[in-house]
Amino acid sequence: MTTKHYEKEAGEFPGAYTIDGWRGIAWYILGHETELDEDTEWSGYETRTGNLIAVMVGDDRLFSVDPSTVHPIPEGSFCPECGQIGCGCYR
């Protein structure tokens, strides 16, 4: 299993998001995906891949996603427990 690396600026991805192809699920964006390059061992720096690292609300599995597929959603439009959009159990 490959460990996913990411970096994030403070306040860069507030709130929750939907991702195209994952209908009905709310996501948190953890940051910009990074990968080790030939200089990382010496410099300590990693290179951004152009993708984002996302995690489903209520889960811990990390996904690499294209930023063009990510869309913000209003707070309260999803269940903070299970991550379903429109879930009635939380209200």
Per-residue pLDDT for the chain (91 aa), expressed as one digit of tens each?
456 889 988 899 999 999 999 999 999 999 999 988 888 788 878 889 999 999 999 999 999 999 999 999 998 899 888 899 987 675 5
CB count, 10 Å around CB of 47? 14
In whole angstroms, give the CA distance from residue 33 to residue 54.
9
Q: Count up the domains in the chain and report the number.
A: 1
pLDDT attached to residue 90? 58
**DSSP label at residue 15:** S
- Provide the domain limits for residue 35: 18-91
Asked, for residue 73, whether it belongs to a domain, the answer is yes
**DSSP label at residue 21:** T
In whole angstroms, give the CA distance from residue 24 to residue 42.
43
Asked, for residue 8, whether it belongs to a domain, the answer is no
Overall size of the chain counted in residues: 91
